Structure 1
């Protein structure tokens, strides 16, 4: 799994990859420090269920506010700021 997509305790969330002709795999990280990975369809499904079960029960320290990402428009070269993601979603 590419490191820029892998969740960490600093960037909690879940990442699931299901390649067309490969084995599905997933990873999640919680801000409490819990890290899990899975490979194969049944194990990925179980990991997602574990994530959904764990998140509401976990009460770690709150995350620091997220800094909005900036992007450069390839058409005009101008920098734009994307809205910050809320903590309620995945990533």
Structure 2
């Protein structure tokens, strides 16, 4: 009976150590995942702020009334397209 008790105590001791390692890995993974979630939350807040402010500036849009030639119209359209493409590319990159 003493031999059996000693054997069982060693089995329990080894299991405690293994379970401690497993629990530690679980805790480490949870912490890493929660840290990533916090980073993603912060990134989402920045993205929302940047996209809320992303627009073709009003002063560019109002220049439409000042266009005096076909060439100016083409240049204006190119500027607006470039600005729009920049905003759309930012959205698509997400």
Structure with the larger strand share: 1
The structure whose RCO (Cα within 8 Å, separation 6+) is larger is 2
TM-score, length basis structure 1: 0.26
Q: Which protein is richer in helix relative to its size?
A: 2
Larger Rg: 2
Name the TM-score, length of structure 2 as normaliser: 0.25
